[in-house]
Structure 1
Amino acid sequence: MTGYLTTHVLDTARGCPAKGLKIELYRINGTDRTLLKALVTNDDGRTDEQILPQSEFSTGEYELVFYAGAYLDASDTPPEDPRFLDVIPIRFGMSEQSHYHVPLLLSSFGYSTYRGS
C-alpha cells in the first residue's frame, strides 16, 4: 500500500463539521520548514482532495497548521481579543507507507487530535 494523508475537522462546540477552515501542510527537515500546500475544508469538514496524495507521499516529519481563529470568527463564535486558540500547529511523523489520518476536534477553548483511520 502506498501512503497518503487526510484530515477531518469537527467543531465540537457546535456539533458540526468545520466548513471553510484553512489548513497548511509543511514538510519539516531539521530546522527547515517548507510549505507544500494550502487547502480549505468543505461542507463535511474534510478537504476535497487528499492533503498528501499517494503520488506525493514520502515518510518524514510534517506539520499541519489549522487556522482556527479565522474559522471561529467566521462561524459567529463570540469574539475575544486575542482569541484563546488562533493558529493550531500539529507536528507529526509518518514512518511507513500507510494511510495517515490526522483529525482535529475543535472548540473555542480546546482541541484534540489523534492518528485516525
Structure 2
Amino acid sequence: MSTSTAASPISSVSTHILDTSIGRPAEGVAVRLAARCGRDADWRALGGSATDADGRCKDLPALPEGTTHVRLDFAVEPYFENKFDNKKADAQQDAPANRDSGAGAFFPEVAITFAVAPGEHYHVPLLLNPFGYSVYRGS
C-alpha cells in the first residue's frame, strides 16, 4: 500500500492582445505574471514575457502548485507611445492619437486578476484600444 499522494495538477496561463483601434495584434507588449496561494497570501512574481507578432505570449511560466489566484500585468503605455510616435500620420478617425490623455494610453497599464483551479488552462485575451479595454476567459 502506497502512502504517497499525487500532486495536484498544475494550472497554466496564456494570453494574447488585439489592438481594436487598428484591428491587429499588439506586438511587443510586456506582460508580467504573478500568483498567490490563497486570498490573503502575498503575490509572488513568476516572470514575464512580451507579445509576439501575433500578439501572443506563448512562454509564460507555469503556475506553482497550490495557486488560487493569478495576476497578469500588461504594460500598454510604451506600446501606445511607440505606435503613436511611428504612425501619427495614420491616426484613426475613431481613436485619434491626441485626445484628453495626450499621445499615450489613458490606461498606462492593465492588471487582470482571476481565480484558478488545479489542472485548468486559462487563456485570457485582452482587447485593447487607447481609451479602454476588455478581457474574457478564452479557450
TM-score (norm 2): 0.73
Matched residue SS, 2:27: coil
Q: How is 1:1-117 mapped onto 2 (pairs within 5 angstroms)?
A: 3-29=11-37, 30=40, 32-49=42-59, 51-53=60-62, 56-58=63-65, 59-76=67-84, 78=97, 80=102, 83-117=105-139
The structure carrying a bigger strand percent of its residues is 1
In the TM superposition, what is the alpha-carbon distance from 1:2 to its structure 2 partner?
5.2
Distance 2:121 2:13 in 1: 6
Looking at CA atoms only, which structure, 1 or 2, has the larger radius of gyration?
2
Amino acid at match of 2:47: K
Unmatched runs of 5 consecutive residues or more in structure 2: 1-8, 89-96
Distance 2:124 2:31 in 1: 12
Distance 2:83 2:58 in 1: 20
Contact 2:48 2:61 in 1 (8 A): no
Question: In percent, how many aligned pairs have the same letter?
Answer: 34
In the TM superposition, what is the alpha-carbon distance from 1:60 to its structure 2 partner?
1.0
- Which segments of structure 1 move beyond 3 Å, counting only runs of 4 or more? 56-59
Contact 1:4 1:57 in 2 (8 A): no
Distance 1:24 1:2 in 2: 19
CA gap 1:81/1:32 in 2 versus in 1, 3 angstroms:
farther
Contact 1:6 1:52 in 2 (8 A): no
Taking only aligned residues, the RMSD between alpha carbons, in angstroms, comes to 2.1
Amino acid at match of 2:83: S
- The alignment covers a number of residue pairs equal to 114
